[in-house]
Amino acid sequence: MKSLCGIDEAGRGPLAGNLVVAGCILNAEVDGLNDSKKLTEKKRELLYEQIILNAAYHIIEFSAQDVDEKGISSCIKSALEEIMATLDAQSYLFDGNSSFGIKDLDTMIKADAHIPEVSAASILAKVTHDRDILKKALLYPQYHFDKHKGYGTKLHIEMIKKYGYCDIHRKTYKIKALEKRPM
């Protein structure tokens, strides 16, 4: 059987929190896999445990500071290279439409909804991201990270306006609602 390493990321778009990239080679079938965004948090958590037991995987995290210093594309590219160097597969498939210039990396839009290995990687990345941001919500309760997971919701932007940025915010991300308008 031809081995496939599915790769996906979570946390590319939030204003705060880690970027997480996961690679996964399934060793056994895991029922119920799908794009992590289409699953409930409870279902993702259950599947996460099943994936860990039935796969070879590698998870990489980049802090907000890493993203600010290196750029999101550079972080993703280095994660893809690390996964490909760490997990031995015959082929590698990344969810999306960019290979970030990496040779021998296939891409497919919405692979996380159609290819089990990419679905599994999607779940590993999303659960890792969400667990981390929930821990950070305890450190920074005023931002309500538990409600929006770091994404640019109205509530989150209001809290940034009120309290400014904290250590886990990506300061290079432009937020239109926070830009000063000329008088």
The dihedral sign for the CA sequence 155, 158, 159, 164: positive
The pair phi, psi for residue 93, each rounded to 5°, is -130, 120
Residue 181 lies in a domain: no
Residue 180 lies in a domain: no
Residue 95 lies in a domain: yes
User: Using the 8-state DSSP alphabet, how is residue 169 labeled?
Assistant: B
Residue 183 lies in a domain: no
pLDDT at position 142: 97
Counting the structural domains of the chain, the total is 1
The pair phi, psi for residue 94, each rounded to 5°, is -105, 135
Q: What's the predicted TM-score (pTM) here?
A: 0.93
Angle at 135 between CA 133 and CA 139, to 5 degrees: 105
Residue 99 lies in a domain: yes
Residue 178 lies in a domain: no
Give 29-34 contacts, CB < 8 A, sequence gap 24+: 29/54, 29/116, 30/54, 30/55, 30/116, 30/120, 33/116, 33/119, 33/120, 33/123, 34/112, 34/113, 34/119
pLDDT at position 174: 81
Whether 101 has a pLDDT exceeding 80, the answer reads yes
pLDDT in tens, 124-158: 999 999 999 999 999 999 999 999 999 999 999 99
CATH of the domain at 107: 3.30.420.10
Residue 33 lies in a domain: yes
pLDDT in tens, 42-66: 999 999 999 999 999 999 999 999 9
Note whether 100 and 124 are within 8 A (CB): no
pLDDT at position 175: 80
Q: What is the mean pLDDT of the chain?
A: 94
Q: What is the mean pLDDT of residues 107-125?
A: 97
Question: Domain range holding 91?
Answer: 4-173
At 182, is the pLDDT very low, low, confident or very high (cuts 50, 70, 90)?
A: low
pLDDT at position 176: 73
pLDDT at position 173: 86
Residue 179 lies in a domain: no
Burial of 21 (0-12, 13-18, 19+ CB in 10 A): buried
